Amino acid sequence: MTIVLKYGGNAMAAGGSDDPVVDEVAALAARGEKVVMVHGGGPQIDAELHLKAIDEVRVRGLRVTGAATRDVVEYVLCGTVNKALVRALLARGARAIGISGQDGPLLYARRVGSVNGVDLGFVGEIVRVEPGPVAALVDAGYVAVVAPLGLDEGGRGALNCNADVAAGAIAGALRADAYVVLTNVAGVRRDLADPDSVIPRLTVAEAEAFLADGTFTDGMIPKIQAAIAAVRGGARRAVVAGAGQGAIAAALEGAGTELVAFR
CATH, residue 41: 3.40.1160.10
pTM passes above 0.85: yes
Residue 9's pLDDT is what? 64
Residue 8 lies in a domain: yes
Residue 68's pLDDT is what? 93
Q: Closest Cα to residue 180, out of 240, 260, 257?
A: 240
Rg of the chain over all Cα atoms, to the nearest angstrom: 17
112 close to 46: Cβ distance less than 8 angstroms: no
The number of beta carbons lying within 10 Å of the beta carbon of residue 32 is: 8
Look at strands 143-147 and 96-100 and give their pairing. Answer: parallel
Domain that holds residue 46: 2-53+69-102+131-149+162-260
The one-character DSSP state at 11 is: T
Q: Using one digit for the tens of pLDDT, what is the confidence trace for 192-245? A: 777 788 888 888 998 999 888 888 877 788 888 999 999 999 999 999 998 888
Phi, psi of 157 (to 5 degrees): 180, 180
Determine the Cα–Cα distance for residues 16 and 94; give it in Å rounded to an integer: 15
Residue 155 lies in a domain: no
Determine the Cα–Cα distance for residues 49 and 35; give it in Å rounded to an integer: 31
H/E run at residue 126: strand 123-129
Residue 95's pLDDT is what? 97
Burial of 36 (0-12, 13-18, 19+ CB in 10 A): buried
The number of beta carbons lying within 10 Å of the beta carbon of residue 114 is: 11
Q: Using one digit for the tens of pLDDT, what is the confidence trace for 82-122? A: 999 999 999 999 999 999 999 999 999 999 888 888 999 99
Residue 36 lies in a domain: yes
* For residue 72, pLDDT beyond 70: yes
Residue 27 lies in a domain: yes
223 close to 179: Cβ distance less than 8 angstroms: no
Residue 59 lies in a domain: no
Q: How many domains does the chain have?
A: 1
Residue 56's pLDDT is what? 82
Q: Which long-range contacts (CB under 8 A, 24 or more apart) does 85-90 make?
A: 85/7, 85/12, 85/14, 85/15, 85/22, 85/37, 85/39, 85/145, 86/15, 86/145, 87/15, 88/15, 88/16, 88/17, 88/19, 88/22, 89/15, 89/22, 89/25, 89/26, 89/29, 89/143, 89/145
Q: Closest Cα to residue 40, out of 77, 74, 75?
A: 77
Q: Closest Cα to residue 257, out of 203, 193, 177?
A: 203
248 close to 5: Cβ distance less than 8 angstroms: yes
Nearest 10 degrees: CA dihedral of 197, 61, 171, 130? 170
Higher pLDDT, 56 or 145: 145
Determine the Cα–Cα distance for residues 234 and 179; give it in Å rounded to an integer: 10
Residue 90 lies in a domain: yes
The mean per-residue pLDDT over the stretch 182-192 comes to 80
* For residue 15, pLDDT beyond 60: no
Residue 174's pLDDT is what? 97
Residue 109 lies in a domain: no
Beta bridge partners of 179: 4, 238
Residue 178 lies in a domain: yes
